[in-house]
Amino acid sequence: MSAECSSYLNADKVLVSGFSCPRAGGDARAVFCCGFQDVKYCCDDPHSFFPYEHSYMWWLSVGALVGLSIAAVVLFAFIITVCVLCYLFISTKPRSKLDTGLSLQMA
């Protein structure tokens, strides 16, 4: 089984000629043509979208983790603040009704 990758223009606008998968000297299991319009490569998974190894995705993952961590800390601080304010509101509320000094009686 083999696949043909058509020629394409890379990110530098240089024409890369077409090739067949698997490439000579490459992984024999890489029989599919994968990639995007500006970068194509041979791979062993036809649903593979990222031609780069973990270093490319690593920075995206670090950015996502930092963003999610900051969002989690802000959410946690908001929840703690709401809980403290609710506690203060309930604990400083008068326990009984204020005595007006007037007693109401039926006539």
Average pLDDT over every residue of 20-41: 85
Which residue in 75, 70, 50, 46 sits closest to 60, CA to CA?
Answer: 50
Give the tens place of pLDDT for each residue, 56-84. Answer: 555 667 778 889 999 999 999 999 999 99
Residue 16 has which token pair?
Answer: 């890369």
The answer to whether 22 and 2 have CB atoms below 8 angstroms apart is yes
Give me the residue spans of the domains in the chain: 2-41, 52-89
The answer to whether 46 and 35 have CB atoms below 8 angstroms apart is no
Residue 98 has which token pair?
Answer: 């204020």
The overall pTM is greater than 0.85: no
pLDDT tier at 48 (50, 70, 90 boundaries)? low
Percent of the chain surpassing pLDDT 90: 24
Which residue in 64, 78, 61, 6 sits closest to 37, CA to CA?
Answer: 6
